[in-house]
Amino acid sequence: MPELPEVETMRRGILHLVGSRITGAEFPCGPKRPISTTPAPAAIVAGIRGGRLSAVERFGKRLALEITFPTRQRWLVIEPRMTGLMLVVPPPTTDHVRLVMHMRHAREQRQHPLVFWDQRGLGTLRLVDARGLDRACGQTTLGPDGLVVTGDDLSRALARSRRAIKVALLDQRAVAGIGNIYAAEILHRTGLDPRAACHRLSRQVWDRLADMTRAVLAEAVRLEGSSIGDELYQTPARRLGRFQQRHRVYGRTDQPCPTCRTAVRRIVQGQRSTFFCPQCQSRSGRRSS
């Protein structure tokens, strides 16, 4: 579920908790249905209790909570994967509440839970120090952020690749934050065939692609992400995203392309669905002609 816009929305939706003390934490699902954590849940609870939430950062599709102690600091890196959500209001179900952090705000002395809820449980939690943060979220793992990526960045990372552009855009080492929804929407707005081979794309096309990547992701952040299908994705306050109203091809197999009315096609690339308009997206992005 969460791609860059959804994770950025989570970040913004919990920013007001910066300054709060973490007075306690629990893993309510227990060992019966564990999510992947490093270290084990008990060590995470011990490692964050008593600390102060001092920053909330986003690295691609990952959220990192900086937790400060008098003599050191740690980072709790949260990867929501398919169905993970950060919530500051009661969750959709009491099932699937993976982590509860009890926050006490500096001013209002009110206890306030911060919840990581994850239906499928594919999400991961890691508690690391500064070096661990670099390993988990540094440049070796993640390329430039999708909100600021340039044509230079994309061209440098991908112009020699023989992969299809759709598959390459999902490579987090090339550009961080694009997932299946936004790859489809970016390519439609660029007019590019998702099957076009990277090494055949012109420099102009890389520039257009980077421009469209920044524009689409920024607009999706503004609209608080995409809540599709069962509307599982919600903001920390449990509002629905609104970018799905702007989707042109994602999840719209056989429906008319909003630009040209041609039926949207679904194909499979790299074991994942690709949605595109065969009419609007016929450009192979050739260097010449």
Residue ranges binding DNA (CB under 7 A): 1-3, 33-34, 60-61, 79, 81-83, 93, 95-96, 119-122, 141, 160-164, 167, 170, 172, 179-181, 226-230, 232-233, 244, 270-273
Helix (H, G, I), strand (E, B) or coil at 179: coil
Tell the smallest beta-carbon distance from residue 126 to DNA (Å).
Answer: 10
Tell the smallest beta-carbon distance from residue 72 to DNA (Å).
Answer: 25
Tell the smallest beta-carbon distance from residue 108 to DNA (Å).
Answer: 33
Cα 101 to chain centroid, rounded: 21
Quick one: 28 or 50, whose CB is closer to DNA?
Answer: 28
φ, ψ of residue 266 to 5 degrees: the values are -115, 125
The residues annotated as belonging to the active site are 2-3, 61, 272
Quick one: 206 or 233, whose CB is closer to DNA?
Answer: 233
Task: Report how far apart, in Å, the C-alpha atoms of 284 and of each of 98, 102, 209 are.
Answer: 44, 52, 13
How buried is residue 226: exposed, middle or buried, by Cβ count under 10 Å (0-12/13-18/19+)?
Answer: buried
Euclidean distance between CA atoms 95 and 22, whole angstroms: 23
Quick one: 20 or 244, whose CB is closer to DNA?
Answer: 244
Tell the smallest beta-carbon distance from residue 76 to DNA (Å).
Answer: 16
Q: Among all chains, which residue has been given the structure tokens 């270290």? A: 39
Quick one: 148 or 164, whose CB is closer to DNA?
Answer: 164
